[in-house]
Amino acid sequence: MTKTKRRLMMGLALCMSAISVMPLAACGKDELPPEAKNRTVVKYHYGFDGDTKAVYEKAIATYNETQGVTDNVWITGKPYAGKTDNNLESKLANPRRECEYNIIHLNDNQFKDYSTKGYLLSLDSYMTDELKTRLDIENIPESHLNRARLTPELVKTDVNSAGYYLAGKGAQQLGLPVQNDIHILYYNATAMKTAGINIISCEESKLDTEYPKLQPHGYAEYLADASHPAPFEGATASTNEAGDSVYKVFNNRIPMSWEENRLLSRLLINQGGLNPNTGAKYGYCSEWWFYYGFSVGGDCVGWDESKDEYTFTIMDKNPNWLATDTLKINDNTYYAGDVLLHEDATIINTNSAKKAELESKLHRFPSQYDAILEFVRLSQGTGAQSDTGVYGYGIAQDPDEPRTAAFTSGKNTPLLVEGLDQAISFSTTNLDWDMAPVCQWREYKGGSTYMTDGSDSNYAKDAFAKEHLKVIGKEYDGVVYTGELDKAANGTPFVGRSTSSGSSITMAVPKNSDKTAYEASVKFMAWMAGPEGQKILMESNAMIPNQPSLGMADEYVNSDKRVCDNQWALAYQFQGIDLGDYDYFQSQTWINNWSDVFNKQVRKGTRTLSSFISYVAPGSGGRTIQQIADANLEAMNIYMCGR
């Protein structure tokens, strides 16, 4: 026997003798400590980015020392650099080969892809009442849990149907959320102050007690004269664009309305930035349109019941609807303040009898077309047509330009929508910045803007220069503008959803992993996704806790490690987190044939929205963008329940 073979045999003998005292192999780098003896060992394959490795290690160690003792479970971490392991599928695809990992991390597309392929274990039968309590499942936003729900069996509508998978509400829980990112509004506080803006932090529910003279606005202007003193101690007055002496107030805990968002952006171009003589080149930038559409109930996809498939609805001109009282459409119950889903709004828009029956409990909202029109106007020049007879605002930076650099330079783009992952890099700059929620559809009594030329629309060329926010306390057409929210007779405010898109990392159990560790894996996952695990993970400042009650607590909002002063905004915005169009299905390819035309032409002002949807792209076989998008959607065999 050669020396090499003798060494191998001796090593094997040592490992075999160790099996009697260790639950798994205990030689080499996988050696387990005595505390793991007789526990079920679970291998946790997690991704890390920046400082997150340290908090994952701390969470694993804490579990092993505490809840793991009770659960009789021992976790061994198997980390990898980055948020996503793109080499996982080969380990999951072979049902006859056991996956070495008991728990894995998946991004949104991977989750849907692997779920439809049957790679993931359903957690439903393992989620006991005790584990649901451990998870604090009732305190996690439903939209966040829905990201990890899919029933991996095709539903066929008829014998010739290819069928589709049900995802979201009511589908099987195939994973649990562990880490999430979210798009949030970053603002340059120096530019705000240069423009004479007073910055406060007060959530809407506390205005009456903390700022009783203020109305619920993200940005507002209050009349400053002898009869209108400062609305709060320390507020300073300045001149607005219309020449009025006002108190400009930015509240970083209330979403701005669409009007406030665009007019504050223009103000910062004219007066803001670190060079007040020339101002910033742009006032605003956002790559993502979702929060405009989501706020009023719109989206770029809508289920067509007659076709049994999704259609491309980015140009849907039908109104959306807000429930002002309890009502039921199909199997969905809405309460006052809820925005109707597309399918249910379609019933109101096409069924006159149903509309007549429920109209007294509904308030009309802008259409998805209205939302996308508002969004594209932001980045189009004032001489560019967004659509026939409608011109751009010229206040937003092209997102293809280096937008984060423009923001951190302090010279351009003082309002920027970006992901939480940018906060760490922003923190290394000398810029005075903070966060606020993204804008939202909000209606105010008497309307919140006026035109200096007396017109009732800012659609015409160069008309945007004549639009201004109404000043609270000033008289317009014989009526003093109060800045109060407009409401239904029963007091329901006409306010849309405060919804932002974001990405998610989901923990899942490979179906072809060790079956004897299934139960142990789910026990740890419930702890990790629950308050105990989330309290540790949120120490990284790159994480938002799953439970808003934890996120809103002082421990997170005022943490010594907080990423910014107004970290509250992250927890608030997380409550309305939703998927972006690139994460709707198991593949992002469905957007490929239309997104370039939208981003490279429409948003740059070289193509109108109407010509976009009817555009016949070269090599498309004579198909329009609408036809191409519909065909792409037909290939995506997932139905997202509740969307």
Which residues does 252 contact at the CB level (< 8 Å), separation at least 6? 187, 199, 200, 201, 218, 434, 435, 436, 566, 569
- Encode pLDDT of 422-438 as tens digits: 998 898 899 999 999 99
Token pair 């409401």 in the structure block, residue: 487
Assigned token pair, 302: 């809508």
Question: Does pLDDT of 241 surpass 80?
Answer: yes
248: amino acid identity, one letter: K
- Encode pLDDT of 583-640 as tens digits: 999 888 899 889 999 999 999 999 999 999 999 988 889 999 999 999 999 888 999 9
Please provide the average confidence, as pLDDT, over all residues in the chain: 91
Q: How far is CA 344 from CA 302, 354, 360, in A?
A: 11, 10, 16
Report yes or no: 460 and 391 within 8 Å, Cβ to Cβ: yes
Q: Could you tell me the sign of the dihedral formed by the alpha carbons of 322, 328, 331, 334, in that order?
A: positive
Report yes or no: 47 and 83 within 8 Å, Cβ to Cβ: yes
Vertex 360, ends 354 and 363: CA angle to 5°?
Answer: 95
CB atoms inside a 10 Å sphere around CB 587: 16
Assigned token pair, 417: 């929508």
Question: Does pLDDT of 163 surpass 80?
Answer: yes
Least confident of 187-196, 255-264, 285-294, 304-313: 304-313
Q: Where are the domains of the chain?
A: 1-31, 39-182+502-578, 183-287+399-480
Q: How far does Cα 372 stand from its chain's mean position?
A: 17
Cα–Cα distance measured from residue 464 to residue 484, given in angstroms and rounded to the nearest whole number: 24
- Counting other chains too, the contacts that 124-130 makes at CB distance below 8 Å and 24 or more residues apart are 124/172, 124/173, 126/518, 126/519, 126/522, 127/173, 127/522, 127/526
Q: Could you tell me the sign of the dihedral formed by the alpha carbons of 546, 550, 552, 554, in that order?
A: negative
Q: What is the DSSP letter of 493?
A: B
Question: Does pLDDT of 11 surpass 60?
Answer: no
- Encode pLDDT of 182-195 as tens digits: 999 999 999 999 99
pLDDT attached to residue 14: 33
CB atoms inside a 10 Å sphere around CB 596: 11
pLDDT attached to residue 27: 37
Residue 159 binned pLDDT confidence (cut-offs 50, 70, 90)? low
Residue 641 binned pLDDT confidence (cut-offs 50, 70, 90)? confident
Which residues does 480 contact at the CB level (< 8 Å), separation at least 6? 473, 474
Query: What is the gyration radius of the CA atoms in the chain, in angstroms?
Result: 27
Q: Could you tell me the sign of the dihedral formed by the alpha carbons of 632, 634, 638, 641, in that order?
A: positive
Burial of 47 (0-12, 13-18, 19+ CB in 10 A): buried
Cα–Cα distance measured from residue 3 to residue 10, given in angstroms and rounded to the nearest whole number: 10
Cα–Cα distance measured from residue 439 to residue 426, given in angstroms and rounded to the nearest whole number: 21
Inter-axis angle of helices 368-379 and 258-271, nearest 10:
0
Q: For residue 296, what is the enclosing H or E element?
A: helix 290-296
Assigned token pair, 171: 């589908």
Cα–Cα distance measured from residue 58 to residue 295, given in angstroms and rounded to the nearest whole number: 38
Query: 349, 359, 238, 249: which is closest to 302 by C-alpha?
Result: 349
pLDDT attached to residue 10: 33
Mean pLDDT of 256-269: 97
Assigned token pair, 531: 């308050």
Q: How far does Cα 331 stand from its chain's mean position?
A: 26
Q: How far does Cα 549 stand from its chain's mean position?
A: 18
pLDDT attached to residue 410: 87
- Encode pLDDT of 320-360 as tens digits: 999 999 999 988 999 999 999 999 999 999 999 999 999 99
Assigned token pair, 207: 């205005």
- Encode pLDDT of 561-586 as tens digits: 888 999 999 999 999 999 999 899 98
Question: Does pLDDT of 28 surpass 60?
Answer: no
Cα–Cα distance measured from residue 451 to residue 215, given in angstroms and rounded to the nearest whole number: 22
Which three-class secondary structure state does DSSP give residue 212? Answer: coil
347: amino acid identity, one letter: I
Query: 314, 301, 328, 284: which is closest to 439 by C-alpha?
Result: 284
Which three-class secondary structure state does DSSP give residue 271? Answer: helix
Assigned token pair, 329: 């459409």
CB atoms inside a 10 Å sphere around CB 219: 24
* Whole-structure pTM value: 0.92
CATH classification for the domain delimited by 39-182+502-578, as one of 3.40.190.10, 1.25.40.80, 3.90.1150.10, 3.40.50.300: 3.40.190.10
